Amino acid sequence: MHLKIRPLHEKFGVIVKNINLDKVTKKNLYPEIRELFEEHSVLLFKNQNFSEQAHINLAKLFGPLENREAMAKNSPIPFQLPKVSNQNGEGRVFEETHMRMLDLKGNMLWHTDSTFLPIPALANIIAAKIIPSTGGETELASTRLPIKNLPNGILEKIKDRKFFHSFVHSRKQIDPSLAKLNKISRWKPQKWSSIIENPVNGKKSIYIASHAYKMEGFSKSKSQKIINEIIDFATQKENVYTHTWQKGDVLIWDERSILHRGRPWPYQEPRTLASICVSLSPEDGLSNVPKSEFN
User: Which residues have C-beta within 8 Å of that of residue 183, sequence separation ≥ 6?
Assistant: none
The residues that bridge with 285 in the sheet, in sequence order, are: none
Q: Is the pLDDT of residue 154 over 80?
A: yes
In angstroms, the first-to-last Cα distance of the chain is 30
Q: Is the pLDDT of residue 63 over 60?
A: yes
Selection from 212, 288, 286 nearest residue 256 by Cα: 286
Q: How many CB atoms within 10 Å of residue 282? A: 12
Domain ranges of the chain: 4-284
Q: Are 196 and 112 in contact (CB under 8 A)?
A: no
User: Which residues have C-beta within 8 Å of that of residue 238, sequence separation ≥ 6?
Assistant: none
d(CA 134, CA 245) in angstroms, rounded, equals 10
* Tens of pLDDT, residues 238-278: 999 999 999 999 999 999 999 999 999 999 999 999 999 99
* Tens of pLDDT, residues 77-118: 999 999 999 998 888 999 999 999 999 999 999 999 999 999
What was the pLDDT predicted at 238? 97
pTM of the model: 0.95
Q: Are 185 and 171 in contact (CB under 8 A)?
A: no
The topology (CATH level 3) of 4-284 is Double-stranded beta-helix (3.60.130)
Name the band, by pLDDT with cuts 50, 70 and 90, for residue 295. low
Task: Give the burial class of 267: count Cβ atoms within 10 A of its Cβ; 0-12 exposed, 13-18 middle, 19 or more buried.
Answer: buried
Task: Tell me the pLDDT of the chain averaged across its residues.
Answer: 95
Q: Is the pLDDT of residue 294 over 60?
A: no
User: Which residues have C-beta within 8 Å of that of residue 131, sequence separation ≥ 6?
Assistant: 245, 246, 247, 271
Q: Are 139 and 263 in contact (CB under 8 A)?
A: yes
Q: Is the pLDDT of residue 1 over 70?
A: no
